[in-house]
Chains A and B, each alone.
Chain A
Amino acid sequence: MIATESLSKRFPRVTALDRLSVDVGPGVTGLVGANGAGKSTLIKILLGLSPATEGRAEVLGLDVATEGAAIRERVGYMPEHDCLPPDVSATEFVVHMARMSGLPPTAARERTADTLRHVGLYEERYRPIGGYSTGMKQRVKLAQALVHDPQLVFLDEPTNGLDPVGRDEMLGLIRRIHTDFGISVLVTSHLLGELERTCDHVVVVDGGKLLRSSSTTDFTQTTTTLAIEVTDTDEHPDGTRAVRDALHARGVTVEDGRGLPGAGHTLLLTAQGEDTYDLVRDVIADLGLGLVRMEQRRHHISEVFKNNDASSDEQRKEAVGHGD
């Protein structure tokens, strides 16, 4: 989808990108970096709007330096900042943007209705955008990027300014852009935590340099850890301890979930295939306890970074290592 080769962008006083070489395949790719890490600059270059100082880049097999217009016809772009006029309705605005992408009038109207419905805007789409909530505005911005059915969309900080619920909805929507719509996504964020749930692949940039590029599964699925939480009963006033002892008796090593929410009531064990799940279920049933939760605990990307990036300086870890 995207390939860059020692791509650099230097402004008179700052180097925004420094010999960045990265390959991005189909799917949802997260581009993570602190503010000013060069994410937006990279998107501008990839859209063919800003020439690179050196190096080359291709989007969908097209050279950004010479085939910018062809690229822009096939990709969508959702900017980070507000970009919506308040005095027109979402429908009018998105229809206009569809026509600006080259869709004939009838197709523009049909695609607009479809796209607005897919991003979750219904009756309100006929009202002026000025009266929308931040979440609705973000959806309109997303709709204008998708309306011409691009092969690839660039989403620049789509969760900015959203509350936790809106954030989750937006991330779900981004996931669907790929799974349901078949459109590949490059999504930027300065929050590593929210991308691990959404992306297949994460690219981390810092100071215009590539810090790491690998798939999310590499990051998080080195081990499968099970987290278990049970109820207490009269017979077993401390259900957690009872389960731990029972599991110990069957030869399973169990850790306390120290440092996790609900510590003291959470048990962690390493799953060795399907059997472990059955064993846990049987043990708890035998004891007559209620199973509150049993879930796979993936490592968070940030933890992986703390382990792997010991060489990088503290500040960098702070910047990219924080989840939300």
Chain B
Amino acid sequence: MATEQSLRTPAPAPGDTRIHNIGYRSYDGPRLGRSYARLSLYSQSLRGSYGLGRSVKSKVLPMLLFVVMCVPAAIMVAVAVATKAKELPLDYTSYAIVMQAVISLYVASQAPQSVSRDLRFKTVPLYFSRPIETADYVRAKFAALASALFVLTAAPLLVLYIGALLAKLDFTDQTKGFAQGLVSVALLSLLFAGIGLVIASVTPRRGFGIAAVIAVLTISYGAVSTLQAIAEVQSSGSDSAAIAWIGLFSPITLIDGVQSAFLGASSAFPGGVGPSNAEGVVYVLFTLGLIAGSYGLLMRRYKKVGL
């Protein structure tokens, strides 16, 4: 307090040394209100998803996963350019499906980072004592994680696309594929962000959050693909309806179904047969329903947190 006192009282000091009194200055500038606060929370969370503005340690994993996501795309492009291939070794829409383990790992590590920390360190009340409301918090966090996921999944597609153009592949073909890929990863980002956040927002413990997200994503995928394989063997490939309906029950097969029905993707389902158009509509509704549902659950969850 001694130093504070001297700062406060403008005592004439001897000689040249002088302590300037910079008293309290009030703030008359603009107060940008709720939407600005929501945007600030969004950008802070988005940056945080890649460890920006946080410690070096927390940058390692997201950055590493980002690199792991992009390297195969770069290799494919290099191969395509070098061998003067007629087309890319992998479709734009298949990329995320092939790399689903990396995406799951990213959601599992960053969803708890985004929401569990606020719960654990009880920062949430500080947010809600400011102009923003529950909906603003949920939307900002949801949008931030979905954007982070979109960056993660769209970046390698961009690498593929630029590479394809460099390799002088057919422009319209490539652009169409790229656009379809972007729509598909946008849906995937929203879906995975929603599922990840709902799970992570239940627990203030980051470790539990990570484990739970990984468990939900991998177990559901494991169970669905096993059942689909069994269905394929039993129906001996003639009837793909059972395979399609089973595919509704894990996030990644859901996306696979949507894009093979409407986005010209070749399905990764056993037998390589995706859902028909009618089944595809159910897939789309199911996907949108899950996204809306996770938003609703998050709203309910944060209504209770309050102060």
Q: Is the CB of A100 within 8 A of B55?
A: no
How many of B's residues come within 8 Å of A, CB to CB? 42
In the complex the two chains form, what is the Cα distance from A111 to B31 in whole Å? 13
**Interface: B36 (CB within 8 A):** yes
Q: Is the CB of A102 within 8 A of B306?
A: no
Interface string of A71-96 (1 = CB under 8 A from B): 01100110101111111100010001
In the complex the two chains form, what is the Cα distance from A217 to B239 in whole Å? 88
Interface string of B102-123 (1 = CB under 8 A from A): 0000000000000001100111
In the complex the two chains form, what is the Cα distance from A246 to B187 in whole Å? 94
In the complex the two chains form, what is the Cα distance from A88 to B113 in whole Å? 13
Cβ of B204 to closest chain A Cβ, rounded Å: 12
**Interface: A302 (CB within 8 A):** no
In chain A, what residue has the closest Cβ to B33? A102
Residues of A within 8 A of B34 (CB): 69, 102
**Interface: B172 (CB within 8 A):** no
How many of A's residues come within 8 Å of B, CB to CB? 43
Q: Is the CB of A69 within 8 A of B133?
A: yes
Q: Is the CB of B121 within 8 A of A84?
A: yes
**Interface: B128 (CB within 8 A):** yes
Q: Is the CB of A182 within 8 A of B36?
A: no
**Interface: A148 (CB within 8 A):** yes
Q: A169-B1, A181-B24 are in contact. Are A104 and B131 (CB under 8 A)?
A: no
When the two chains form the complex, which single residue of B23, B24, B126 contacts A97, counting CB atoms closer than 8 Å? Answer: B126
Q: Is the CB of A85 within 8 A of B123?
A: yes
**Interface: B58 (CB within 8 A):** yes
Q: Is the CB of A44 within 8 A of B122?
A: no
In the complex the two chains form, what is the Cα distance from A299 to B102 in whole Å? 69
Q: Is the CB of B123 within 8 A of A83?
A: yes
Cβ of B35 to closest chain A Cβ, rounded Å: 9
In the complex the two chains form, what is the Cα distance from A271 to B65 in whole Å? 78
Residues of A within 8 A of B128 (CB): 49
Q: Is the CB of B131 within 8 A of A101?
A: yes
**Interface: B129 (CB within 8 A):** yes
Cβ of B50 to closest chain A Cβ, rounded Å: 15
**Interface: A103 (CB within 8 A):** yes
Residues of A within 8 A of B55 (CB): 87, 128
Interface string of A264-275 (1 = CB under 8 A from B): 000000000000
Q: Is the CB of A103 within 8 A of B44?
A: no
Q: Is the CB of B27 within 8 A of A102?
A: no
Residues of B within 8 A of A49 (CB): 128-129, 306-307
Q: Is the CB of A100 within 8 A of B26?
A: no
When the two chains form the complex, which single residue of A69, A117, A169 contacts B131, counting CB atoms closer than 8 Å? Answer: A69
When the two chains form the complex, which single residue of B22, B123, B129 contacts A72, counting CB atoms closer than 8 Å? Answer: B129
Cβ of A297 to closest chain B Cβ, rounded Å: 25
Q: Which residues from 236 to 251 on chain A have a C-beta closer than 8 Å to any C-beta of chain B? A: none
Residues of B within 8 A of A50 (CB): 306-307
In the complex the two chains form, what is the Cα distance from A180 to B8 in whole Å? 9
Q: A81-B122, A92-B53 are in contact. Are A99 and B31 (CB under 8 A)?
A: no
Cβ of A176 to closest chain B Cβ, rounded Å: 8
Cβ of A4 to closest chain B Cβ, rounded Å: 18
Residues of B within 8 A of A182 (CB): 24, 26
Residues of A within 8 A of B123 (CB): 83-85
Q: Is the CB of A102 within 8 A of B307?
A: no
Cβ of B134 to closest chain A Cβ, rounded Å: 10
**Interface: A228 (CB within 8 A):** no
In chain A, what residue has the closest Cβ to B39? A99
In chain B, what residue has the closest Cβ to A47? B129
Residues of A within 8 A of B1 (CB): 120, 169, 172
Residues of A within 8 A of B129 (CB): 47, 49, 72, 76-77, 79
In the complex the two chains form, what is the Cα distance from A117 to B22 in whole Å? 10
- Which residues of A line the B interface, CB within 8 A? 40, 44, 47, 49-50, 69, 72-73, 76-77, 79, 81-88, 92, 96-97, 99-104, 107, 111, 114, 117-118, 120, 128, 144, 148-149, 169, 172, 180-182
